[in-house]
Amino acid sequence: MRITSLLKPEAVKIGGVASDKDDAITKLVKLMETQGNVVDVDAYTEAVHTRESFGSTALGEGIAIPHAKTAAVSAPGLAAMTLPEGVDYDAPDGLPTTLMFLIAAPDTKADVHLEVLSRLSMLLMDPEFCDNLRAAKTAEEFLAVIDAAEDAKLAAENAKAAAAAAADATGYDIVAITACPTGIAHT
């Protein structure tokens, strides 16, 4: 699953403004609504606030990823917003949040929100990627940045898999570690 399969242009706000954490969540939920995957907006909003009550979903470095898994969601989705002026989101580093993603996940056995959270977090570890998202002028440009990063990550994963397959083809030496009853380890 690609990030952009869950994030549509109508759910991306470039240059958003929020007065506080609650206002930011409200604006992201409105963006999520445009995708038609939230069947009960009030229940979904409450679920996001409940998740936040356990601890801020701000990662630091200007990034927050609020999320909720609830029956108020019919299908997975994402919303995103850049906030050039930033908003206080209780970040661990105390910096204002300028880049937000909201994850909506249905309450099923699948943990799609964790998969999306993991994929996003891996991409967001790259400061250049984050800077490019913040610099995007349109939703389409924002999505293109994500697509390019996912393409590069996929290419790297494929290259790594190909290298591992080539190593398997040439064979590995086997190393075994055993325990000796007399207390001397043999390898």
The catalytic site residues sit at 67, 180
Q: How far apart are CA 103 and CA 65, in angstroms?
A: 7
Token pair listed for 163? 């290298």
Bridge partners, 12 (sequence order)? 80
Token pair listed for 116? 């999306």
Q: What are phi and psi of 69, to 5 degrees?
A: -115, 115
Token pair listed for 47? 């679920």
Q: How far apart are CA 11 and CA 13, in angstroms?
A: 7
Distance of CA 103 to the CA centre of its chain: 8
Burial letters for 116-153: b for 16+ Cβ neighbours within 10 Å, e otherwise?
bbebbeebbeeeebbebbbebeebeebbebbeebbeee
Q: How far apart are CA 92 and CA 119, in angstroms?
A: 21
Q: How far apart are CA 41 and CA 32, in angstroms?
A: 9
